[in-house]
């Protein structure tokens, strides 16, 4: 930990003060951190983060009497430990580890037929894309590719957000109609 304190860029007086502070209060810092976590590596991280936090307040700490300084250090370590626990709890609730066990077999493999159908549909859509009206392109690309909200689409098209749903319905119908017309022409050419 002392090498960590020495690695923080600081003035020689500040470095001496921080080393003295650590030497005087490291047992207190570790005992407070152990009240919140029992893992030695996490305790080390909490103490290290506390030292960085204390270094940021070095101008406030230097003139403090020892009893007030001890209380300030206790508060800093306690708050750092509580924040660390909050982050850990949030991560536990919101982040899932991606492993083979938590991915079902159906999710891992897409049948070849499905991939071929999707590729065929994509190619058909790319073929008709240049023929679609500009507003239809903006609506379809904005909503389904870029994920714009109705409000964002309304700003682009200079209309009310309440009218976007109907415009999207019309755009989808126009694209489907054009796709089916192209498909009928292809079917007709085959016969």
pLDDT digits (tens, 9 = 90+) for 63-114: 999 899 999 999 999 999 999 988 888 777 777 666 656 555 555 667 888 8
Which one of 45, 68, 94 terminates a domain? 94
Domain boundary among 62, 94, 126: 94
Per residue in 10-63, pLDDT (tens digit) is 677 888 888 888 899 989 999 999 999 988 999 999 999 998 888 888 889 989
Dihedral sign for Cα 153, 159, 160, 164, please. Answer: negative
| Separation of alpha carbons 34 and 32, rounded Å | 5
- Please tell me the total count of domains within the chain: 2
pLDDT of residue 101: 61
Answer whether 70's CB lies under 8 Å from 25's CB. yes
**Is 105 among the domain residues?**
no
Average pLDDT of the segment spanning 124-129: 86
Please report the pLDDT score of residue 105 as a whole number. Answer: 55
Residue 6 sits in the same domain as residue 90: yes
**Is the pLDDT score of 188 beyond 80?**
no
Across 143-158, average pLDDT? 87
Range of the domain at 129: 110-190
Which token pair is 30? Answer: 């570790």
User: How far is residue 168's CA from residue 130's CA, in Å, rounded to a whole number?
Assistant: 18
pTM: 0.48
């Amino acid at each position: 930990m002392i090498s960590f304190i020495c690695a923080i860029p600081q003035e020689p007086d500040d470095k001496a003060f921080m080393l003295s502070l650590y030497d005087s209060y490291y047992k207190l810092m570790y005992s407070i951190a152990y009240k919140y976590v029992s893992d030695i590596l996490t305790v080390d991280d909490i103490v290290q983060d506390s030292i960085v936090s204390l270094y940021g307040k070095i101008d406030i700490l230097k003139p403090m009497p020892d009893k007030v300084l001890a209380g300030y250090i206790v508060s800093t370590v306690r708050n750092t430990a509580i924040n660390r626990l909050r982050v850990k709890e949030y991560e536990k609730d919101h982040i899932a580890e991606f492993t083979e066990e938590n991915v079902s077999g159906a999710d891992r493999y897409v049948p070849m037929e499905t991939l071929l159908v999707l590729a065929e549909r994509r190619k058909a859509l790319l073929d008709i894309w240049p023929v679609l009206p500009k507003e239809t392109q903006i609506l379809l690309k904005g909503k389904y590719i870029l994920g714009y909200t109705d409000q964002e689409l309304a700003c682009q098209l200079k209309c009310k957000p309440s009218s976007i749903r109907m415009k999207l319905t019309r755009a989808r119908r126009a694209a489907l109609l054009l796709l089916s017309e192209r498909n009928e022409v292809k079917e007709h050419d085959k016969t």
